[in-house]
Amino acid sequence: MDGRNFTGDGKTRLDVLIASQSEWTRSHVRKLIDDGCVSVDGEAIVKSGTVVPSGKEIEVLTEEPVLVSAEPENLPLDIVYEDSDLVVVNKRAGMVTHPCQGTPKGTLVNALCYHVKDLSGINGVFRPGIVHRLDKDTSGLLVVAKNDLSHVSLASQIEKKEAGRYYLALLEGNIKEDNGQIDQPIARSKTDRKKMAVCADGRRALSYYTVLERFGKYTLCEFKLATGRTHQIRVHAKFMGHPVVGDPVYNGKKEFDLNGQLLHAYKLELTHPSTGERMTFSCPLPERFENILEKLRKNL
């Protein structure tokens, strides 16, 4: 994560000032502020309407790119469904969703710009069509908007919890309950700004889980997201005391020779922006995930 600096003018509210001096939209700046990514003299700002005194330095910690645009690249892209309004893709683990500092190329957006003719422009030139995202090492389904009307509809469905987003995760340990919910607020960690954490002053985060299989030292769970905070499942799993296997940030163990967490967005439910049809998409577990489950089953 890198910092970008701005200077207060003593008269302009914070979200307007940053948006006017960057490529970000005002709504995205507000999200950065809500996530605790914006600080003045080391103190996190929690209100978008704050007016920073003239000359005061504002720091924004962000993964956003300092680029002109996302370049089209002929990269493999697993398209599950496509029509004139949207495209559903199965992102592979290890691929970043959109260009960011240190990863200007090789992302899902670079591949989309090559393979898909039209993408919505609401999120600007760095994240065209991107309605929601997956972490680099999380695989699975993403819906991408091909025009602005579709983008507004899909984003609204996610915000209003009308879209269903389901994940499979292999967790450390044996979870006692067969199902449950984790309703714990999440914000950027106050001790490590590269991490998220459960914090009393964070934004509400709600996850539902169901145990699918038990392997003694490990548990396979389905998660359904009711909110979409950064690293939500990974942070909630750690809060439960059962971090995601292979998670390099929230799990200290190195197992199965993995390079990233065993977390897969396997099912997506949404209402089509134009037809109103309720649609369900699914994709199988990636091979590395399935192979580990097969080994665990053989050892039962």
Catalytic positions: 135
Give DSSP secondary structure letters for 34-68: HTT-EEETTEEP--TT-BPPTT-EEEEEE-----S
Residue 231 per-residue DSSP state:
T
**261 to 135, 151, 211, 236: CA distances (angstroms):** 10, 29, 18, 14
Exposure on the CB side of residue 121, measured as CA atoms within 13 A: 3
**How crowded is the C-beta side of 173, counted as CA atoms within 13 Å?**
12
Q: Can you state the percent helix, strand and coil of the chain, rounding each to 5?
A: 20, 30, 50
Residue 298 phi, psi dihedral angles, 5° rounding: -70, -25
Distances from the Cα of 143 to the Cα of 104, 137, 249, angstroms: 21, 17, 26
Backbone angles phi, psi at 60, to 5 degrees: -120, 115
> Residue 276's CB: how many other CB atoms inside 10 A?
8
Report residue 270 CA to chain centroid gap. Answer: 17
User: For tokens 């001096």, what's the residue?
Assistant: 21
**190-218: string of b/e by CB count within 10 Å (b at 16+)?**
eeeeebbbbbeebeebbbebebeeebeeb
